[in-house]
Amino acid sequence: MRTEIRTGAVLVERTYVSLFERPVSLKPAFARVLSPIIYRARVWQRPCHRSGQTRHFSAGERLSSATMVATDGPGAPTSQKSPSRGLLVELAVESLAHGTGMGVSRLQLSENESFVVLVHNAIPGERVRARIIRRKRNHAEAIVVERLDPPSMFATAPLCRHFLEGCGGCKFQNLIYTKQLSEKEEQVRDMYRALLRRLETDGLASEASVEFLPAVGATVPTGLYAYRNKMDFTFGTRVWRPKPNTADDSGKVTLRQGRDTSTRDENTVSSGRKRPGTDTAPESGEDMRTGFALGLHVPRRYDKVLCIEDCALQIDIANEILRFVERHCRPLAETLLPPYDLVEHVGFLRNLVIRTAQDRHNQTQVMVNLVTSPPADAHQQAALEDVAAALWKAFGETNRGLVCVLQNITSNRSGVAVGESQRRLAGTQDTIEQCLRPLRHVRSRIQTSSWSETGINFQISANSFFQTNPAQAERLMAVVLENSGLLEQPSVGQVSPAAESSAELAVSSPQASQDTGALVVDLFCGTGTIALCLAPFAEQVLGLELVASAVDDARTNARLNARTNTVFQVTDLEKENLWQVIFRHLPLARQHPVDLLVMDPPRAGVHPRQLKAIAGAPPALRPRRLVYVSCNPASQTRDLDLLLRDAPWYRLEKVALVDQFPHTPHIETVAVLSLSHEADANGRHKASDSTEESGRYSI
């Protein structure tokens, strides 16, 4: 039986034997080409090759971004029977799709056959009349034309008026939060069940041995809105004005699709009580060239901007600043301050980035960052500085929290809101301060000093990364702390001080290292958020990061909190051996196994070579515990599949969830792994005496 694996526009065909037979030896010339193919094939839909069965979508199953289907057999969808583009259908929404947040429904094609349809802006429990806008091999996409009675029992009125206009910032404002949380929790459980079934087939894991902790949700109702500490608004020349789909008295449903307006007879679909449709979708709207727009990009429309006056995800002062900037820049759009056009690549104003924070005194701090093209002349720059001065007078001099107004200048043609150079237009500093107090959310009883009251302070610059939801970030750090294994050890956060300029941590003698405290390594450490939260409970902490500016911020944050037991290093693990880097900057790890290795990678996950490097630790020095934090459970489960096959001595213990993104399809997931070997009398795990194993994992 032949299998196809679809990833975007790439279609790869291989037989089961060549894809799944292990081990696979490739000559270097072919490895670069075939390794990604074999890697994806092993990870995605692994059970299919063993059972030889066609994959079907069960009623409760979520669609992922990559799906394997058989090219022959009874389960393959029939293109002649699949719904055509433009068809008007009536659907019952069952659940939500992972990643996209679209409603999952089934279109009955025959008595024994159905077809999955993903519906934009639909929630579970709804019955909708929808129009098919895209058709793919194993599913279709549709937009809502009208919602049928009775309404979903999970429906609620959205707070933000822009939600009904097709804004893509939120997906679920019309879905009650308890249902949002349960849907996201069930999606993660589905992915982990699939992972554990694959591993159980090979005797590497058991679903019964993994503890799924209840999801940690946001505080209701205060934590559901105004939680984002950063919003990136776009200046543009093309305004997207939403047009609602309408149904007139004659029974004709008018579907507005940009320039395309079509009608279909309502009697062509099954009958049902209807409420007049007022729904919009990203496909429904009017492109108007007005010369000035400030707001958010319409989903899947990189060049079109939906004007935003109030965003429910940011605090009130940020919305006031948004309206203030719009009022002062719009009159100059035709002269000195033209917005940037992403199609023609002309213009000056690009982005308005508003960052907020709560400092150690619980005072609000605000940073305004105006991203622009290089100024054409001194008059253009002077006009921008006049806007910044007006901002400072209104929100800075009046002690309303504005700390600085910055200008990032970029000549890049992309829409990324990061400049190649930076100027301060107003204010006395270039950063804002955020204080996190994770210990107040730790359920364990900890004998600690006033650290739980003072917290950890972070300086945030214009282009540095920081968790977008500080309140939930505290809960996330608490979950990491509770599952780190460090709270059972003595707090030694201030011992072995090292010079701030030193590239290595202070090293005690080999004899003294026998009684050392916990050693922690934080991969993808960023600005040091996790590392600095763990530092009070560790002897030494090493943070590794590829981005040099993030490492600079992490070192600044370590000095700000007087954490002398931390070192942050710029490291490219694609070019350097992981364990050589660890031994060079954390010499105690040569005699004492790393107690905790933390990973918090980008959404794409961990590269397979880095996973193999983690598995390649010398047997006697394998990390005792791994904590993998991810905002993308799909890439996390894929990586754990590879890691647990390359390092079967680890056992997946727990999976915890923290919802940092209410009203969106995203959720933070924490996976906890520990060594499954029997520990010796000193608490260290016994290493294998196998000559073959020792040779394989030596460096």
Whether the pLDDT of residue 145 is over 50: the answer is yes
Q: Are 383 and 259 in contact (CB under 8 A)?
A: no
Confidence of residue 173 (pLDDT cuts 50, 70, 90): very high
For 278-285, what is the mean pLDDT? 48
pLDDT in tens, 449-460: 445 567 899 999
Whether the pLDDT of residue 277 is over 60: the answer is no
Q: Are 642 and 635 in contact (CB under 8 A)?
A: no
The CA R_g of the chain, rounded to the nearest whole Å, is: 27
* CATH node for 468-490+516-649+667-678: 3.40.50.150
Confidence of residue 82 (pLDDT cuts 50, 70, 90): confident
pLDDT in tens, 660-676: 999 999 999 999 999 98
Q: What is the DSSP letter of 614?
A: H
Find, among 670, 658, 664, 634, the residue nearest to 177 by Cα.
664
Q: Token pair for residue 531?
A: 């590392």
Which comes out higher in pLDDT, residue 488 or 163? Answer: 163
The one catalytic residue in 160, 311, 404, 631 is 631
Rounded distance, CA 595 to CA 492, Å? 14
Across 562-573, b (16+ Cβ under 10 Å) vs e yields ebbbbbbbebeb
pLDDT in tens, 98-125: 888 999 999 988 888 899 999 998 999 9
Secondary structure element (H or E) that encloses residue 37, with its range: helix 28-43
HSE at residue 399, side-chain half, CA atoms within 13 A, is: 1
Rounded distance, CA 659 to CA 631, Å? 10
pLDDT at 502: 37
Find, among 633, 639, 652, 590, the residue nearest to 611 by Cα.
639
Active site residue 631: yes
Confidence of residue 26 (pLDDT cuts 50, 70, 90): very low
Whether the pLDDT of residue 174 is over 90: the answer is yes
Q: Residue 410: helix, strand or coil by DSSP? A: coil
Whether the pLDDT of residue 127 is over 90: the answer is yes
pLDDT at 7: 34
Q: Are 401 and 363 in contact (CB under 8 A)?
A: yes
The edge-to-edge listing of strands for the beta sheet with 3-7 is 10-14, 3-7, 68-70
Domain with CATH 3.40.50.150 in the chain: 468-490+516-649+667-678
Q: What is the percent of the chain with per-residue pLDDT over 70, rounded to a whole number?
A: 73
Q: What is the DSSP letter of 84?
A: P
pLDDT at 129: 96
Average pLDDT, the chain: 79
pLDDT in tens, 586-603: 999 998 999 999 999 999
Q: Which residues pair with 146 in a beta bridge?
A: 129
Find, among 418, 168, 401, 135, the residue nearest to 304 by Cα.
168
Whether the pLDDT of residue 498 is over 60: the answer is no
Confidence of residue 613 (pLDDT cuts 50, 70, 90): very high
- Return the number of other C-beta atoms located less than 10 Å from residue 169's C-beta: 22
Confidence of residue 17 (pLDDT cuts 50, 70, 90): very low
Confidence of residue 55 (pLDDT cuts 50, 70, 90): very low
pLDDT in tens, 459-470: 999 988 899 999
